[in-house]
Structure 1
Amino acid sequence: MRSSRPDEDHNAAATGASMTGWEFAWMDGLAVASEPSWSYPDLARPLIRRCASVLDLDTGGGELLAELAPLPAHTVAVESWARNTPAARERLAPFGVEVLTELPAGEDEFELVLSRHGRLPVADIARLLRPGGILLSQQVGSDDLAELNDALGAPPPQPRRWDAQVVTAALEAAGMRVIDLREEHPPLTFHDIRAVIHQLRTVPWQIRDFSLQKYERELARLTAIIRARGEFTVRAHRFLVQADRPT
Protein backbone atom coordinates (compact mmCIF):
# COMPACT_ATOMS: atom_id res chain seq x y z
CA MET A 1 0.00 0.00 0.00
CA ARG A 2 1.47 3.35 -0.97
CA SER A 3 1.90 6.12 1.58
CA SER A 4 -0.09 9.30 1.07
CA ARG A 5 1.75 12.53 0.33
CA PRO A 6 1.68 15.30 2.97
CA ASP A 7 -0.70 17.41 0.87
CA GLU A 8 -3.09 14.47 0.64
CA ASP A 9 -2.97 14.09 4.43
CA HIS A 10 -3.73 17.80 4.81
CA ASN A 11 -6.67 17.69 2.42
CA ALA A 12 -8.09 14.61 4.12
CA ALA A 13 -8.00 16.37 7.49
CA ALA A 14 -9.50 19.53 6.04
CA THR A 15 -12.52 17.58 4.80
CA GLY A 16 -12.81 15.33 7.86
CA ALA A 17 -15.95 14.73 9.85
CA SER A 18 -17.57 17.82 11.32
CA MET A 19 -17.62 18.29 15.06
CA THR A 20 -20.40 19.49 17.30
CA GLY A 21 -19.92 20.24 20.96
CA TRP A 22 -16.61 18.95 22.28
CA GLU A 23 -16.61 15.46 20.78
CA PHE A 24 -13.25 14.36 19.35
CA ALA A 25 -14.15 10.80 18.30
CA TRP A 26 -12.86 11.60 14.78
CA MET A 27 -9.32 11.54 16.22
CA ASP A 28 -9.57 7.98 17.58
CA GLY A 29 -6.52 6.03 16.43
CA LEU A 30 -4.78 9.15 15.16
CA ALA A 31 -3.95 10.69 18.54
CA VAL A 32 -3.80 9.49 22.14
CA ALA A 33 -4.57 11.90 24.97
CA SER A 34 -3.83 11.23 28.64
CA GLU A 35 -6.24 12.49 31.26
CA PRO A 36 -5.12 14.18 34.47
CA SER A 37 -4.99 12.03 37.59
CA TRP A 38 -8.32 13.34 38.86
CA SER A 39 -11.73 12.68 37.28
CA TYR A 40 -13.78 15.83 36.83
CA PRO A 41 -17.08 13.90 36.37
CA ASP A 42 -16.43 11.86 39.51
CA LEU A 43 -15.87 15.06 41.47
CA ALA A 44 -18.92 16.80 39.97
CA ARG A 45 -21.48 14.02 40.53
CA PRO A 46 -21.60 14.05 44.35
CA LEU A 47 -21.75 17.85 44.34
CA ILE A 48 -24.71 17.78 41.92
CA ARG A 49 -26.57 15.18 43.98
CA ARG A 50 -26.69 17.40 47.05
CA CYS A 51 -27.58 20.62 45.22
CA ALA A 52 -30.96 22.03 44.21
CA SER A 53 -29.56 24.42 41.59
CA VAL A 54 -26.69 24.13 39.11
CA LEU A 55 -25.15 26.45 36.51
CA ASP A 56 -22.89 24.90 33.84
CA LEU A 57 -20.70 27.43 32.02
CA ASP A 58 -19.67 26.89 28.39
CA THR A 59 -21.48 23.57 28.21
CA GLY A 60 -20.40 22.89 24.60
CA GLY A 61 -22.95 20.52 23.08
CA GLY A 62 -24.16 19.54 26.56
CA GLU A 63 -22.41 16.16 26.36
CA LEU A 64 -20.83 16.16 29.80
CA LEU A 65 -23.77 17.74 31.61
CA ALA A 66 -26.07 15.08 30.17
CA GLU A 67 -23.71 12.38 31.42
CA LEU A 68 -23.95 13.83 34.93
CA ALA A 69 -27.75 13.34 35.10
CA PRO A 70 -29.96 13.14 37.07
CA LEU A 71 -29.82 16.90 37.41
CA PRO A 72 -31.60 19.28 39.79
CA ALA A 73 -34.87 20.79 38.59
CA HIS A 74 -33.20 24.19 38.42
CA THR A 75 -30.26 23.52 36.13
CA VAL A 76 -29.11 26.15 33.65
CA ALA A 77 -26.40 25.83 31.00
CA VAL A 78 -24.63 28.65 29.15
CA GLU A 79 -23.25 28.23 25.63
CA SER A 80 -22.55 31.30 23.51
CA TRP A 81 -20.82 29.65 20.53
CA ALA A 82 -23.47 29.56 17.78
CA ARG A 83 -22.20 26.23 16.43
CA ASN A 84 -22.77 24.52 19.77
CA THR A 85 -25.92 26.17 21.11
CA PRO A 86 -28.50 24.24 19.02
CA ALA A 87 -26.82 20.92 19.83
CA ALA A 88 -26.80 21.76 23.54
CA ARG A 89 -30.48 22.69 23.54
CA GLU A 90 -31.45 19.50 21.72
CA ARG A 91 -29.37 17.26 23.96
CA LEU A 92 -30.35 18.90 27.27
CA ALA A 93 -34.06 19.48 26.59
CA PRO A 94 -35.06 16.00 27.89
CA PHE A 95 -33.44 16.92 31.23
CA GLY A 96 -35.38 20.17 31.52
CA VAL A 97 -32.20 22.24 31.26
CA GLU A 98 -32.51 25.79 29.97
CA VAL A 99 -29.61 26.75 27.66
CA LEU A 100 -28.75 30.45 27.60
CA THR A 101 -26.29 32.31 25.40
CA GLU A 102 -25.35 34.78 28.15
CA LEU A 103 -24.77 34.57 31.90
CA PRO A 104 -27.89 34.96 34.07
CA ALA A 105 -28.37 38.45 35.45
CA GLY A 106 -29.45 37.57 38.99
CA GLU A 107 -27.65 37.10 42.28
CA ASP A 108 -27.39 34.28 44.84
CA GLU A 109 -29.15 31.93 42.40
CA PHE A 110 -27.08 28.72 42.29
CA GLU A 111 -25.67 26.31 44.84
CA LEU A 112 -23.15 24.92 42.33
CA VAL A 113 -21.33 26.43 39.34
CA LEU A 114 -19.51 24.08 36.98
CA SER A 115 -17.03 25.00 34.25
CA ARG A 116 -15.05 22.35 32.43
CA HIS A 117 -12.65 23.90 29.92
CA GLY A 118 -14.83 26.99 29.80
CA ARG A 119 -14.67 30.57 30.98
CA LEU A 120 -14.07 31.45 34.60
CA PRO A 121 -15.58 34.91 35.15
CA VAL A 122 -14.86 35.02 38.86
CA ALA A 123 -16.82 38.19 39.68
CA ASP A 124 -19.95 36.81 38.00
CA ILE A 125 -19.49 33.43 39.65
CA ALA A 126 -19.26 35.09 43.07
CA ARG A 127 -22.41 37.05 42.21
CA LEU A 128 -24.39 34.02 41.04
CA LEU A 129 -23.39 31.63 43.83
CA ARG A 130 -25.43 31.53 47.00
CA PRO A 131 -23.51 31.90 50.26
CA GLY A 132 -22.01 28.49 50.92
CA GLY A 133 -22.20 27.64 47.22
CA ILE A 134 -19.47 25.73 45.39
CA LEU A 135 -17.48 26.30 42.20
CA LEU A 136 -15.88 23.31 40.49
CA SER A 137 -13.79 23.98 37.40
CA GLN A 138 -11.24 22.18 35.27
CA GLN A 139 -9.33 24.75 33.26
CA VAL A 140 -7.04 24.64 30.24
CA GLY A 141 -3.84 26.45 31.21
CA SER A 142 -1.90 28.89 29.09
CA ASP A 143 0.88 26.36 28.38
CA ASP A 144 -1.56 23.95 26.73
CA LEU A 145 0.08 22.19 23.73
CA ALA A 146 2.66 24.99 23.61
CA GLU A 147 5.17 22.58 22.01
CA LEU A 148 2.84 22.26 19.02
CA ASN A 149 2.92 26.02 18.51
CA ASP A 150 6.71 25.95 18.82
CA ALA A 151 7.01 23.13 16.27
CA LEU A 152 4.98 25.12 13.75
CA GLY A 153 6.68 28.44 14.49
CA ALA A 154 3.40 29.95 15.71
CA PRO A 155 2.80 32.45 18.54
CA PRO A 156 2.00 31.05 22.01
CA PRO A 157 -1.56 29.77 22.42
CA GLN A 158 -2.42 32.45 25.00
CA PRO A 159 -0.87 35.91 25.32
CA ARG A 160 -1.35 36.00 29.09
CA ARG A 161 -0.51 33.60 31.87
CA TRP A 162 -3.39 31.41 33.02
CA ASP A 163 -2.63 28.82 35.67
CA ALA A 164 -3.61 27.65 39.14
CA GLN A 165 -1.78 30.48 40.88
CA VAL A 166 -3.43 33.20 38.77
CA VAL A 167 -6.90 31.75 39.27
CA THR A 168 -6.40 31.38 43.01
CA ALA A 169 -5.51 35.06 43.32
CA ALA A 170 -8.54 36.08 41.23
CA LEU A 171 -10.98 33.95 43.25
CA GLU A 172 -9.64 35.21 46.56
CA ALA A 173 -9.89 38.80 45.33
CA ALA A 174 -13.56 38.13 44.54
CA GLY A 175 -14.17 36.99 48.11
CA MET A 176 -14.11 33.25 47.47
CA ARG A 177 -12.12 30.56 49.26
CA VAL A 178 -10.12 27.91 47.37
CA ILE A 179 -10.57 24.49 48.99
CA ASP A 180 -8.95 22.21 46.37
CA LEU A 181 -6.30 23.00 43.77
CA ARG A 182 -4.43 20.63 41.43
CA GLU A 183 -2.31 21.21 38.30
CA GLU A 184 -0.80 18.75 35.81
CA HIS A 185 0.61 18.49 32.27
CA PRO A 186 -0.67 15.21 30.77
CA PRO A 187 0.78 14.18 27.37
CA LEU A 188 -0.99 14.23 24.01
CA THR A 189 0.61 12.06 21.32
CA PHE A 190 -0.15 12.56 17.62
CA HIS A 191 0.39 9.54 15.38
CA ASP A 192 -0.79 11.20 12.17
CA ILE A 193 -0.54 14.72 10.77
CA ARG A 194 -4.28 14.59 10.08
CA ALA A 195 -4.90 14.62 13.83
CA VAL A 196 -2.72 17.73 14.22
CA ILE A 197 -4.65 19.56 11.51
CA HIS A 198 -8.02 18.50 12.84
CA GLN A 199 -7.00 19.62 16.34
CA LEU A 200 -6.02 23.05 15.03
CA ARG A 201 -9.21 23.42 13.01
CA THR A 202 -11.56 22.43 15.83
CA VAL A 203 -9.68 24.40 18.49
CA PRO A 204 -8.99 27.55 16.46
CA TRP A 205 -7.60 29.56 19.37
CA GLN A 206 -4.55 27.25 19.58
CA ILE A 207 -3.07 28.94 16.49
CA ARG A 208 -5.38 31.80 15.61
CA ASP A 209 -3.96 32.46 12.14
CA PHE A 210 -3.77 28.78 11.18
CA SER A 211 -4.36 27.74 7.58
CA LEU A 212 -2.94 24.95 5.43
CA GLN A 213 -1.43 27.49 3.07
CA LYS A 214 0.25 29.69 5.69
CA TYR A 215 1.78 26.74 7.56
CA GLU A 216 2.44 24.49 4.57
CA ARG A 217 6.21 24.22 5.09
CA GLU A 218 5.95 23.72 8.85
CA LEU A 219 3.27 21.05 8.41
CA ALA A 220 5.43 19.22 5.89
CA ARG A 221 8.33 19.31 8.35
CA LEU A 222 6.13 17.99 11.17
CA THR A 223 4.75 15.30 8.85
CA ALA A 224 8.30 14.07 8.27
CA ILE A 225 8.96 13.98 12.02
CA ILE A 226 5.84 11.96 12.71
CA ARG A 227 6.63 9.49 9.95
CA ALA A 228 10.22 9.06 11.12
CA ARG A 229 9.38 8.67 14.82
CA GLY A 230 5.86 7.28 14.56
CA GLU A 231 4.59 9.99 16.87
CA PHE A 232 4.88 13.58 18.05
CA THR A 233 4.15 14.23 21.73
CA VAL A 234 3.23 17.52 23.36
CA ARG A 235 1.96 18.38 26.83
CA ALA A 236 -1.49 19.57 27.75
CA HIS A 237 -1.97 21.94 30.68
CA ARG A 238 -4.85 21.26 33.06
CA PHE A 239 -5.69 22.54 36.50
CA LEU A 240 -8.60 21.85 38.79
CA VAL A 241 -9.99 24.32 41.27
CA GLN A 242 -12.78 23.95 43.80
CA ALA A 243 -13.83 27.00 45.75
CA ASP A 244 -16.73 28.15 47.84
CA ARG A 245 -18.41 31.41 48.67
CA PRO A 246 -18.16 31.77 52.44
CA THR A 247 -21.39 32.27 54.34
Structure 2
Amino acid sequence: MRIGQQYEESAGERATAWEFAWLDGRDVGSEPSWSYPGLARALLRRASSLLDLDTGNGELLAELAPLPPHTVAVESWARNTPVARDRLAPLGVPVLTELPGGEDEFDVVLSRHGRLPAADLVRLLRRDGVLLTQQVGSDDLAGLNVALGAPPAHRQPWNAGVAVAALTAAGLEVTDVREEHPSVTFTDVGSVVRQLRDLPWQIRDFTPRLYQEPLDRLDTFIRLHGGFTVTAHRFLVEAVRR
Protein backbone atom coordinates (compact mmCIF):
# COMPACT_ATOMS: atom_id res chain seq x y z
CA MET A 1 0.00 0.00 0.00
CA ARG A 2 1.47 3.38 -0.97
CA ILE A 3 2.27 5.98 1.68
CA GLY A 4 -0.92 7.65 2.91
CA GLN A 5 -3.22 5.34 0.95
CA GLN A 6 -4.81 3.90 4.08
CA TYR A 7 -5.82 7.40 5.18
CA GLU A 8 -7.23 8.25 1.76
CA GLU A 9 -9.34 5.11 1.86
CA SER A 10 -10.53 5.58 5.43
CA ALA A 11 -11.59 9.15 4.62
CA GLY A 12 -13.71 8.07 1.65
CA GLU A 13 -14.85 10.28 -1.20
CA ARG A 14 -14.88 14.04 -0.90
CA ALA A 15 -18.20 15.56 0.08
CA THR A 16 -20.52 17.10 -2.51
CA ALA A 17 -21.02 20.78 -1.72
CA TRP A 18 -21.08 21.28 2.06
CA GLU A 19 -22.64 17.96 3.02
CA PHE A 20 -21.05 16.58 6.21
CA ALA A 21 -23.35 13.69 7.09
CA TRP A 22 -20.33 11.40 6.70
CA LEU A 23 -19.00 12.82 10.00
CA ASP A 24 -21.98 11.56 12.02
CA GLY A 25 -20.55 9.48 14.83
CA ARG A 26 -16.96 10.20 13.76
CA ASP A 27 -16.66 13.62 15.34
CA VAL A 28 -18.53 14.74 18.42
CA GLY A 29 -19.20 18.33 19.41
CA SER A 30 -18.53 21.71 17.73
CA GLU A 31 -22.00 23.16 18.31
CA PRO A 32 -22.26 26.28 20.49
CA SER A 33 -24.81 26.63 23.27
CA TRP A 34 -27.12 28.90 21.26
CA SER A 35 -29.38 27.77 18.43
CA TYR A 36 -28.73 29.78 15.29
CA PRO A 37 -31.81 28.35 13.53
CA GLY A 38 -33.96 29.19 16.55
CA LEU A 39 -32.73 32.78 16.63
CA ALA A 40 -33.23 33.10 12.88
CA ARG A 41 -36.80 31.77 13.03
CA ALA A 42 -37.68 34.33 15.71
CA LEU A 43 -36.54 37.14 13.40
CA LEU A 44 -38.35 35.74 10.36
CA ARG A 45 -41.72 35.65 12.11
CA ARG A 46 -41.98 39.41 11.73
CA ALA A 47 -40.05 39.86 8.47
CA SER A 48 -41.41 40.41 4.97
CA SER A 49 -38.03 40.17 3.22
CA LEU A 50 -34.89 38.10 3.77
CA LEU A 51 -31.39 37.83 2.31
CA ASP A 52 -29.40 34.67 3.10
CA LEU A 53 -25.77 35.47 2.40
CA ASP A 54 -23.51 32.57 1.35
CA THR A 55 -26.34 30.08 1.66
CA GLY A 56 -24.08 27.10 0.92
CA ASN A 57 -26.20 24.25 -0.42
CA GLY A 58 -29.39 25.94 0.81
CA GLU A 59 -30.16 23.25 3.35
CA LEU A 60 -30.37 25.51 6.39
CA LEU A 61 -32.45 28.14 4.60
CA ALA A 62 -34.91 25.48 3.45
CA GLU A 63 -35.23 24.27 7.04
CA LEU A 64 -36.28 27.78 8.12
CA ALA A 65 -39.42 27.68 5.94
CA PRO A 66 -41.97 29.19 5.82
CA LEU A 67 -39.86 32.06 4.51
CA PRO A 68 -40.79 35.72 3.99
CA PRO A 69 -42.52 36.50 0.66
CA HIS A 70 -39.41 38.22 -0.68
CA THR A 71 -36.48 35.90 0.03
CA VAL A 72 -33.19 35.89 -1.87
CA ALA A 73 -30.16 33.67 -1.38
CA VAL A 74 -26.59 34.33 -2.50
CA GLU A 75 -24.02 31.61 -3.19
CA SER A 76 -20.96 32.30 -5.33
CA TRP A 77 -19.10 28.99 -5.01
CA ALA A 78 -19.72 27.07 -8.24
CA ARG A 79 -19.83 23.72 -6.47
CA ASN A 80 -22.65 24.84 -4.19
CA THR A 81 -24.73 27.05 -6.49
CA PRO A 82 -26.56 24.35 -8.51
CA VAL A 83 -27.26 22.34 -5.37
CA ALA A 84 -28.75 25.38 -3.66
CA ARG A 85 -30.85 26.27 -6.70
CA ASP A 86 -32.29 22.77 -6.92
CA ARG A 87 -33.15 22.77 -3.22
CA LEU A 88 -34.59 26.29 -3.01
CA ALA A 89 -36.46 26.47 -6.33
CA PRO A 90 -39.56 24.71 -4.91
CA LEU A 91 -39.68 27.44 -2.25
CA GLY A 92 -39.59 30.18 -4.87
CA VAL A 93 -36.20 31.43 -3.69
CA PRO A 94 -33.76 32.67 -6.35
CA VAL A 95 -30.07 31.95 -5.79
CA LEU A 96 -27.78 34.73 -7.02
CA THR A 97 -24.02 34.52 -7.41
CA GLU A 98 -23.46 38.16 -6.41
CA LEU A 99 -24.96 40.51 -3.85
CA PRO A 100 -28.12 42.35 -4.95
CA GLY A 101 -27.42 45.84 -6.19
CA GLY A 102 -30.32 47.67 -4.54
CA GLU A 103 -30.73 49.55 -1.29
CA ASP A 104 -33.07 49.33 1.73
CA GLU A 105 -34.36 45.98 0.48
CA PHE A 106 -34.32 43.48 3.37
CA ASP A 107 -35.78 43.28 6.86
CA VAL A 108 -33.36 40.51 7.80
CA VAL A 109 -29.95 39.45 6.54
CA LEU A 110 -28.62 36.06 7.63
CA SER A 111 -25.02 34.93 7.27
CA ARG A 112 -24.11 31.59 8.80
CA HIS A 113 -20.40 31.00 8.31
CA GLY A 114 -20.47 33.41 5.36
CA ARG A 115 -19.08 36.82 4.52
CA LEU A 116 -19.74 40.02 6.44
CA PRO A 117 -19.33 42.86 3.94
CA ALA A 118 -20.24 45.60 6.40
CA ALA A 119 -20.85 48.45 3.94
CA ASP A 120 -23.06 46.27 1.73
CA LEU A 121 -25.03 45.09 4.73
CA VAL A 122 -25.83 48.68 5.67
CA ARG A 123 -26.85 49.32 2.07
CA LEU A 124 -29.11 46.28 1.81
CA LEU A 125 -30.84 46.45 5.18
CA ARG A 126 -33.95 48.53 5.64
CA ARG A 127 -34.07 50.92 8.57
CA ASP A 128 -34.49 48.83 11.73
CA GLY A 129 -33.48 45.79 9.67
CA VAL A 130 -31.51 43.10 11.49
CA LEU A 131 -28.32 41.21 10.67
CA LEU A 132 -27.85 37.83 12.34
CA THR A 133 -24.56 36.06 11.76
CA GLN A 134 -22.79 33.03 13.17
CA GLN A 135 -19.12 32.86 12.25
CA VAL A 136 -16.28 30.37 12.45
CA GLY A 137 -13.45 32.10 14.31
CA SER A 138 -9.77 31.98 13.44
CA ASP A 139 -8.96 29.65 16.36
CA ASP A 140 -11.24 26.94 14.96
CA LEU A 141 -9.70 23.45 15.17
CA ALA A 142 -6.25 24.98 15.77
CA GLY A 143 -5.34 21.85 17.71
CA LEU A 144 -5.28 19.87 14.46
CA ASN A 145 -2.61 22.19 13.08
CA VAL A 146 -0.56 21.82 16.27
CA ALA A 147 -0.91 18.03 16.33
CA LEU A 148 0.20 17.70 12.71
CA GLY A 149 2.98 20.29 12.94
CA ALA A 150 1.30 22.57 10.41
CA PRO A 151 1.25 26.39 10.36
CA PRO A 152 -1.79 28.19 11.83
CA ALA A 153 -4.77 28.34 9.49
CA HIS A 154 -5.11 32.13 9.69
CA ARG A 155 -2.59 34.96 9.87
CA GLN A 156 -5.07 37.54 11.13
CA PRO A 157 -7.49 37.09 14.04
CA TRP A 158 -11.17 36.69 13.22
CA ASN A 159 -13.28 36.85 16.34
CA ALA A 160 -16.27 38.63 17.83
CA GLY A 161 -14.27 41.74 18.68
CA VAL A 162 -12.96 42.16 15.14
CA ALA A 163 -16.41 41.62 13.61
CA VAL A 164 -18.15 43.99 16.02
CA ALA A 165 -15.60 46.72 15.31
CA ALA A 166 -16.15 46.41 11.55
CA LEU A 167 -19.94 46.39 11.77
CA THR A 168 -20.01 49.30 14.20
CA ALA A 169 -17.66 51.35 12.03
CA ALA A 170 -20.03 50.81 9.08
CA GLY A 171 -22.94 52.22 11.07
CA LEU A 172 -24.74 49.19 12.49
CA GLU A 173 -25.79 49.00 16.14
CA VAL A 174 -24.67 45.71 17.69
CA THR A 175 -27.35 44.30 19.99
CA ASP A 176 -26.04 40.82 20.85
CA VAL A 177 -22.59 39.20 20.92
CA ARG A 178 -21.72 35.66 21.94
CA GLU A 179 -18.48 33.69 21.56
CA GLU A 180 -17.59 30.13 22.53
CA HIS A 181 -14.95 27.44 22.01
CA PRO A 182 -16.85 24.13 22.13
CA SER A 183 -14.85 20.91 22.11
CA VAL A 184 -14.70 18.56 19.11
CA THR A 185 -13.61 14.93 19.43
CA PHE A 186 -12.47 12.89 16.42
CA THR A 187 -12.94 9.16 16.94
CA ASP A 188 -10.84 7.91 14.02
CA VAL A 189 -8.01 9.34 11.94
CA GLY A 190 -10.03 8.98 8.74
CA SER A 191 -12.44 11.65 9.96
CA VAL A 192 -9.48 13.98 10.56
CA VAL A 193 -8.25 13.41 7.02
CA ARG A 194 -11.69 13.97 5.57
CA GLN A 195 -12.15 17.16 7.59
CA LEU A 196 -8.85 18.55 6.33
CA ARG A 197 -9.59 17.61 2.71
CA ASP A 198 -13.02 19.24 2.75
CA LEU A 199 -11.84 22.36 4.61
CA PRO A 200 -8.63 23.05 2.67
CA TRP A 201 -7.94 26.37 4.40
CA GLN A 202 -7.25 24.59 7.71
CA ILE A 203 -3.93 23.16 6.49
CA ARG A 204 -3.34 24.55 3.02
CA ASP A 205 -0.70 22.06 1.91
CA PHE A 206 -2.43 19.05 3.42
CA THR A 207 -2.19 15.63 1.80
CA PRO A 208 -2.12 12.29 3.63
CA ARG A 209 1.21 11.54 1.95
CA LEU A 210 2.87 14.76 3.12
CA TYR A 211 1.55 14.39 6.68
CA GLN A 212 1.99 10.61 6.94
CA GLU A 213 4.17 10.58 10.06
CA PRO A 214 2.07 12.91 12.24
CA LEU A 215 -1.07 11.12 11.04
CA ASP A 216 0.48 7.84 12.20
CA ARG A 217 1.13 9.35 15.62
CA LEU A 218 -2.40 10.74 15.79
CA ASP A 219 -3.85 7.38 14.74
CA THR A 220 -1.95 5.71 17.58
CA PHE A 221 -3.19 8.32 20.05
CA ILE A 222 -6.83 7.85 18.99
CA ARG A 223 -6.58 4.06 19.23
CA LEU A 224 -5.11 4.33 22.72
CA HIS A 225 -7.42 7.02 24.08
CA GLY A 226 -10.60 6.54 22.05
CA GLY A 227 -10.52 9.98 20.45
CA PHE A 228 -8.63 13.21 19.87
CA THR A 229 -10.19 16.41 21.20
CA VAL A 230 -9.62 19.95 19.96
CA THR A 231 -11.73 23.10 20.24
CA ALA A 232 -13.92 24.80 17.68
CA HIS A 233 -14.41 28.58 17.61
CA ARG A 234 -17.85 30.09 17.05
CA PHE A 235 -19.23 33.55 17.58
CA LEU A 236 -22.59 35.14 16.99
CA VAL A 237 -23.43 38.79 16.36
CA GLU A 238 -26.81 40.48 15.95
CA ALA A 239 -26.87 44.07 14.73
CA VAL A 240 -29.50 46.59 13.65
CA ARG A 241 -29.47 49.35 11.08
CA ARG A 242 -30.93 52.46 12.74
1:225-245 CA distances to partner (integer Å, 9 max, x unpaired)?
A: 111211100000000000000
1:71 aligns with 2:67: yes
Matched-pair identity in %: 66
TM-score in terms of structure 2 length: 0.96
Which amino acid is the alignment partner of residue 187 of structure 2? H
Match of 1:37 in 2: 33
Match of 2:47 in 1: 51
8 Å CA contact retained: 1:57, 1:78: yes
1:220 aligns with 2:216: yes
TM-score in terms of structure 1 length: 0.94
1:87 pairs with one of 59, 83, 87: 83
What is the distance in 2 between the residues matched to 1:172 and 1:187? Answer: 30
What is the distance in 1 between the residues matched to 2:159 and 2:10? Answer: 31
2:169 pairs with one of 173, 198, 208: 173
1:154 aligns with 2:163: no
Match of 2:202 in 1: 206
Match of 1:10 in 2: 7
8 Å CA contact retained: 2:14, 2:197: no
Q: CA RMSD in A?
A: 1.6
Match of 2:186 in 1: 190
Partner-residue secondary structure (3-state), 2:207: coil
8 Å CA contact retained: 2:8, 2:193: no
What is the distance in 2 between the residues matched to 1:29 and 1:40? Answer: 22
Deviation, 1:182, is: 0.3
Deviation, 1:8, is: 5.3
1:127-148 CA distances to partner (integer Å, 9 max, x unpaired)?
A: 1111110000000001000111
2:138 pairs with one of 136, 139, 142: 142
Runs of 5+ consecutive residues of structure 2 not aligned to the other structure: none
What is the distance in 2 between the residues matched to 1:18 and 1:26? Answer: 10
What is the distance in 2 between the residues matched to 1:162 and 1:216? Answer: 30
Partner-residue secondary structure (3-state), 1:23: coil
